[in-house]
Amino acid sequence: MNEFGIVKHLEVELHQSATRLDAERVSALLHKSFVECGRSGRVCRRTEILEALTKEKPGNTVWSQDFAGEEVSDGVILLTYLSAHIDSDGALFRHTFRSSLWQRTPHGWQMRFHQGTPISAFVQQAIYEGV
């Protein structure tokens, strides 16, 4: 698997409920300087994200598709994609354009920055790009 494939896999892993509820795993994937600008516009630091995820309901499912990646410098990849949450009937809601900045560190690839921007509903691909 190439570097883009690894980072995409890690990003999608963070969409999975089992990972999101595992504080140790999320902690390993988020850089100590991690910052997120959520789709609401709220800026959160790593500690706030770790705390929020521990309160999340099990089974929260995220759909993701249309991944693109670019190595912006040595060991730094900018990943962009579309995401939405899946409701209990399988319908998508909270459609979002996402971007993440991943950095290769001595601990492996870690997310440094993440941003979500609300968008209009997109057409769901027939194939899920998940793990």
Structural domains of the chain in order of their starting residue, each with its CATH number: 3-118 (3.10.450.50)
1-13: average pLDDT: 96
pLDDT of residue 68: 97
pLDDT of residue 127: 65
Beta carbons of 75 and 101 less than 8 angstroms apart = no
Is the pLDDT assigned to residue 131 strictly greater than 60? no
Task: Give the residue among 55, 50, 34, 51 at the shortest CA–CA distance from 111.
Answer: 34
Give 19-46 as a DSSP string.
Answer: HHT-HHHHHHHEEEEEEEE-TTS-EEEH
CA 3 vs CA 39, 68, 74, 117: distances in Å: 27, 12, 11, 25
pLDDT of residue 43: 97
- Terminal-to-terminal C-alpha distance of the chain: 13
Q: Going by C-beta distance under 8 Å and a sequence separation of 6 or more, which residues neighbour residue 10?
A: 29, 102, 109, 111
pLDDT of residue 88: 87
Query: What's at 52, amino acid-wise?
Result: A
* Number of C-beta neighbours around residue 19 at 10 A: 16
For residue range 101-113, list pLDDT tens digits in order.
999 999 999 999 9
pLDDT of residue 128: 55
pLDDT of residue 111: 98
What's the pTM value of the predicted model, to 2 decimals?
0.92
pLDDT of residue 120: 97
Is the pLDDT assigned to residue 55 strictly greater than 90? no
For residue range 61-89, list pLDDT tens digits in order.
899 999 999 999 999 999 999 999 998 89
